[in-house]
Structure 1
Amino acid sequence: MTLRLAASAATLATLAAFPAAAQTYDAVETQSPVISTQSGSGLVFTLRGGVGTRPEYFGSDEYTAVPDIGFSLNYLSLGSFNFGDPDPWAERRGFGLRGSFRYIGERDASEFDELDGLDDIDAAYELGLGVAYTATSYEVFGNVRKGFGGHEGVVGEVGADAIFRPTEALRLTFGPRVFFGNDDYADTYFGVDADEAAASQFGAFDAEGGMLSSGLALGMRYRLTDVWGVEGQITYDVYRNDAEDSPIVAAGADDQWGARIGITRTFSIGGR
């Protein structure tokens, strides 16, 4: 544990030192700013592309590389209605709504000896909304999403971040996260039904929803130019309650790490 924590801290330090000359999980977060009265017209948005790492499946002690993709709506003008700020680096304050999207890859039991006998789980998409309150030195937020595909449950997360600005170009965030899922979600990824128990090494387990994990997230954003930047994040989560008690997790790991780094590029359509 100490070795992994040191490695993660070193990784973020490397990201933070990147020269100025870049849940849980395959995930895409869409963030929408608060309504603004600034003048302007058109559309301003930011795309992120990079690479990350996550567990092979929920509860796995093995990790795999995944693409890191993100989208942020910075500004939208429709007639006299102005939404957001055309400056992609503007620090927004107060309450704001945002979209929330997560992609969970399929779990193919045939690829993992320890899962032999369990049912496969298709890839899932989660769509929802979130609300956040941002001040100068902190942010608190909550998201709710509905699943489609591999699971059709409802999940949510709440969190808070302290915000640090060591330099004008660098912004760091650090804070706790708590993740919730309903019975459908919990039983899909952490449950073992009677047929699976008969065909696998696991005993039957009916996973119930509730708080399923808690953890910490350490993030960074570095401004390279007016339109280019770098974003990175390291996460650490520990399974709780029925997720922790799942025989699938017991055979793997109840703590889960994640990391990502990506290059961001802002695009403008129309006047500013």
Structure 2
Amino acid sequence: MKRLLAIALLAMPLATAAAAQDFSVDLGLGVTGKPVYPGAEDAEATPWLIWRNARFGAAGEGDKQGFSVSPSFNIVGERKAEDDAALTGMKDIDRAYELGAKVSYGAGPVTAYGSVRKGFDGHEGVTGEIGAKYRTDLSDRVTLWSGLELGYGDSDYTDTYFGVSPEEAIASKYREYDPSGGFTSAAVKFQARYAINDKTAILGEVEYGKLIGDAGDSPVVQEEWQPSLRLGVVRRFSFGF
């Protein structure tokens, strides 16, 4: 709770900067099938906390045109040695909370974006994504997006999830490894949204990504290709400031 309070306090400047504006965001719950940890061979099903389409200004169905700035939030699940035999001898990593900002530029059906977030708890590094997506409206209710995305992280981030400390090298089967910061993943992403009504929708996502750079070269990585599948229900919430 203390960490969540700290995140809320850090988010206040964003809200202050958006004074006298509306803020809307799609929030929801679902399930995701993804690797047990970054670089794992095996997959697992876990809850999906959905945070999508956060924006200042009037809420709408379409992607916002021109430049826009919005909050960016993410949760990275914990990693425990007991989760996978391949992690024997590796230290446990707590759940991480990431808070930052996202800058987007929309031009017609194309939206380019970049985000940066600071981690708390599980990692203390800086991470984010850059990418672009293309929107296709199949009907009044069904919308598809397809896109490409690169993920990155600084050395604190990569060391947390892909590094092997001297102590871990002794306790595990891995050699010592000290990765540098940089691009960590490349992915093709597809998203589909079915609008049940003006505020509620079913959301599905398919991502086929690969670990690259020092992250992909980590001895902890059992499989560079990291696919994921998500399905959930979202509802749009709007707030006036």
Tell me if TM exceeds 0.5. yes
Is 1:262 matched with 2:232?
yes
Once the two structures are superposed, residues 155-191 of structure 1 have per-residue CA deviations (whole angstroms, 9 ceiling, x without a partner) of 1210001111121221111111011111111111111
1:197-222 per-position Cα deviation (integer Å, ceiling 9, x unaligned): 11111111111111111111101111
The 1:74–1:187 alpha-carbon spacing in structure 2 relative to 1, beyond 3 Å, is closer
Q: How does 1:244-259 map to 2 (within 5 A)?
A: 244-249=216-221, 252-259=222-229
Q: Counterparts of 2:70 and 2:96 in 1: how far apart (Å)?
A: 20
Q: Please, what TM-score do these two structures have when normalized by structure 1?
A: 0.75
1:54 to 28, 34, 50: 34
- Is contact 2:90–2:172 with CA below 8 Å preserved after alignment? yes
CA contact (8 A) 1:74 1:84 kept: no
- Other-structure match for 2:58: 85
Unaligned runs of 5+ in 2: 1-13
What are the residue-to-residue correspondences of 1:18-29 with 2, within 5 Å?
Answer: none
- Aligned-residue offset at 1:231: 1.3
Q: Match for 1:149 among 121, 127, 130?
A: 121
Matches within 5 A, 1:168-247: 168-247=140-219
Aligned residues between the structures: 225
Higher CA-based Rg = 1
- 8 Å CA contact 1:239–1:255 kept in 2: the answer is yes
**Alignment root-mean-square deviation, CA:** 2.6
Q: Could you list the structure 1 runs, at least 4 aligned residues long, displaced by more than 4 angstroms after superposition.
A: 41-45, 72-75, 267-270
Distance 2:104 2:142 in 1: 21
- Runs of 5+ consecutive residues of structure 1 not aligned to the other structure: 1-31, 76-82
Amino acid at match of 1:67: P
Task: Return the offset for 1:47.
Answer: 2.3
* Corresponding residue SS for 1:117: coil
Counterpart-to-counterpart distance in 1, 2:54 and 2:71: 13
| 8 Å Cα contact 2:63/2:111 also seen in 1 | no
Q: TM-score, normalised by structure 2?
A: 0.85
CA distance in 1 between partners of 2:99 and 2:82 (Å): 28
* Greater Cα offset, 98-107 or 140-149: 98-107
Q: State the secondary structure of the residue aligned to 1:195.
A: helix
Distance across 1 between alignment mates of 2:23 and 2:112: 27
Say yes or no: does 1:64 pair with 2:44: yes
Q: Give the share of equivalent positions with the same residue, in percent.
A: 37
- 2:66 equivalent to 1:94: yes
